[in-house]
Amino acid sequence: MTIQLGTVARPLRVAIVGAGPSGFYAAGALLQQKEVNVSVDMFDRLPTPYGLVRYGVAPDHQKIKSVAKVYDRTAADPRFRFFGHIDFGQDITHADLRCHYDQIIYAVGAQSDRKLDIPGEELAGSFSATEFVAWYNGHPDFADLEFDLSCNAAVVVGVGNVAMDVARVLAKSKDELSSTDIADYALATLAQSNIKDIYVLARRGPAQVKFTPPEIKEFGELADADVLVEATELILDPLSAAEAAASTETQRNLEHLQSYAARPLTGKARRVHFRFLVSPVELIEANGKVSAIRLEQNELRADETGYLNAYGTGTFETIAAGLVLRSVGYKGIPLEDVPYDKRRGTIPNDQGRVKDPASGAPILGEYVVGWAKRGPSGVIGTNKPDAIETVATMLSDLPHTPPAPQPDPTSIDGLLEERQLNFVTIEGWRILDRIEVEQGQAQGRPRVKFTRIQDMLEALHAEIHLKEG
């Protein structure tokens, strides 16, 4: 007898690996559609859901974080379950999920970062922006990092929105940060910062920046930092001028940069310098740590597709700096037993359907959403249409989907119990959330975050809300 998936008698069982925005939009799309009966189990290696909304979005961008309310509504659906603190590849394997679920969605984002591949990159004082972001956001894996902010100058390499976040956090005063949900230890370190000059470096010109106008606008509103832009660096070559003319976003970015170039310095304690057409070529060491960065000036030349690339001109300069944050993009990492495209850092797929990289054949029952699907681009909302596309692919595959051998929802609980794995349910997360928000209220902050997994688990033990295996 063939089993029909998605009926009342046999709901479609879906596992989602990763509880960030892309995973939640996929869960939302599955639970909202009316074609099939479905139940969704979401796994995350951290006890807390929301991925980059909690650990990526800057603490002073609380409005963006309010998108979590949409995810809360998804999580409140009785057909949804959260298994926090369960690591795919360690606690549960690919084979386990294939045994208990008809379809699996990988929503694991891009958990690593790109390198510059220049000498000195590994020196003390040189970090990826992703490390700094995860640290100030209280990510438990990064809470023990130490950032020495006793130097006078910091360099941020790259001009995407992540670069804007880290440069802004470095430039903000204690008062500006203390009303946010920044990790307590990060607030204490940043409050003692000696950094006066923050250099933000673009390898291409002002018409090719990746940041968006609201982000560059914020630099003009900082309490304790002036913005410096050299008017001569804003002069566009003809190809860049044509690019700018075709994009209202680029024009708005240029207007903000031009207004900064025209502003007199007001003598604020810090200065944020935006520099264009410069590439780092070496980090220079002194006393075992980074002390300066050597830059080569660039010029732009179009390739055969018209894309403007940066080429070194052979003219060099050096900027003294004790902290270097490389903000040149995130990169995916491979999952055990799941195909991986090393060059792109993504899971190879066709409209979200995972495919065998060698043969191109679809792997029925396995899907991907978000940055793991398309690479680290777009804003949080970009993940909604992306997830809807994958869910449409999943539903169209249903007639050919091999049913899971053990679809009973209690069988996965049994497996976790057998392995003595403690996991955090959505009710458990709500308790952690409530504790964080209550502690925040006392300090006039949105929340005070737990930054240690052990503390989260102990708080749940105290409330008897950890599911013990």
Interaction of residue 127 with ligand NAP, rule CB under 6 A: no
Q: Which of 160, 206, 332, 365 binds ligand NAP (CB under 6 A)?
A: 160
Interaction of residue 244 with ligand NAP, rule CB under 6 A: no
In this complex, which beta carbon is closest to ligand NAP, that of residue 157 or of residue 435?
157
Rounded least distance, CB 110 to ligand NAP, Å: 8
Site string for ligand NAP, 164-183 (x = CB under 6 A): -x------------------
Interaction of residue 345 with ligand NAP, rule CB under 6 A: no
Rounded Cα distance, 131 and 127, in Å: 7
Interaction of residue 60 with ligand NAP, rule CB under 6 A: no
Q: Which of 80, 101, 330, 429 binds ligand NAP (CB under 6 A)?
A: 330
Q: Which of 66, 377, 396, 443 binds ligand NAP (CB under 6 A)?
A: 377
Interaction of residue 163 with ligand NAP, rule CB under 6 A: yes
In this complex, which beta carbon is closest to ligand NAP, that of residue 286 or of residue 379?
379
Rounded Cα distance, 369 and 360, in Å: 18
Rounded least distance, CB 50 to ligand NAP, Å: 15
3-state SS record for the chain: CCCCCCCCCCCEEEEEECCCHHHHHHHHHHHHCCCCCEEEEEEECCCCCCHHHHHCCCCCCHHHHCCHHHHHHHHCCCCEEEEECCCECCCECHHHHHHHCCEEEECCCCCEECCCCCCCCCCECEEEHHHHHHHHCCCCCCCCCCCCCCCCEEEEECCCHHHHHHHHHHHCCHHHHCCCCCCHHHHHHHHCCCCCEEEEECCCCHHHCCCCHHHHHHHHHCCCEEEEECHHHHCCCHHHHHHHHCCHHHHHHHHHHHHHHHCCCCCCCEEEEEECCEEEEEEEEECCEEEEEEEEEEEEEECCCCCEEEEEEEEEEEEECCEEEECCCEECCCCCCCCCECCCCECCEECCEEECCCCCCEEEEEEECCHHHHCCCCCHHHHHHHHHHHHHHHHHHHHHCCCCCCCCHHHHHHHHHHCCCCEECHHHHHHHHHHHHHHHHHCCCCCCCCCCHHHHHHHHHHCCCEECC
Interaction of residue 321 with ligand NAP, rule CB under 6 A: no
From 32-40, 151-159, 361-369, 443-451, span contacting ligand NAP (CB under 6 A): 151-159
Interaction of residue 158 with ligand NAP, rule CB under 6 A: yes
Virtual CA dihedral for 116, 122, 123, 129, nearest 10 degrees? 60
Rounded least distance, CB 249 to ligand NAP, Å: 11
Q: Which of 157, 227, 229, 347 binds ligand NAP (CB under 6 A)?
A: 157
Q: Which of 215, 218, 226, 386 binds ligand NAP (CB under 6 A)?
A: 215
Which residues in 65-124 contact ligand NAP (CB under 6 A)? 116
Altogether, the residues listed in the chain come to a count of 469
Interaction of residue 219 with ligand NAP, rule CB under 6 A: no
In this complex, which beta carbon is closest to ligand NAP, that of residue 165 or of residue 386?
165
Q: Which of 225, 328, 347, 456 binds ligand NAP (CB under 6 A)?
A: 328
Q: Which of 103, 126, 137, 279 binds ligand NAP (CB under 6 A)?
A: 279
- Which residues 6+ apart lie within 8 Å of 59 measured at CB? 136, 137, 169, 177, 180, 181, 182
From 42-50, 201-209, 245-253, 407-415, span contacting ligand NAP (CB under 6 A): 201-209
Buried b (16+ CB within 10 A) or exposed e, 136-146: bbbbbebbeee
Interaction of residue 206 with ligand NAP, rule CB under 6 A: no
Rounded least distance, CB 263 to ligand NAP, Å: 23
In this complex, which beta carbon is closest to ligand NAP, that of residue 102 or of residue 215?
215
Structure tokens, 400: 């050919």
In this complex, which beta carbon is closest to ligand NAP, that of residue 381 or of residue 402?
381
Q: Which amino acid is at 173?
A: S
Counting residues that bind ligand NAP (by CB under 6 A) gives 23
Q: Which residue is nearest to ligand NAP (CB)?
A: 160
Rounded least distance, CB 329 to ligand NAP, Å: 5
Interaction of residue 59 with ligand NAP, rule CB under 6 A: no
In this complex, which beta carbon is closest to ligand NAP, that of residue 383 or of residue 422?
383
Rounded least distance, CB 264 to ligand NAP, Å: 28
- Binding site residues, ligand NAP, CB under 6 A: 116, 157-163, 165, 203-204, 208, 210, 215, 279, 327-330, 376-379
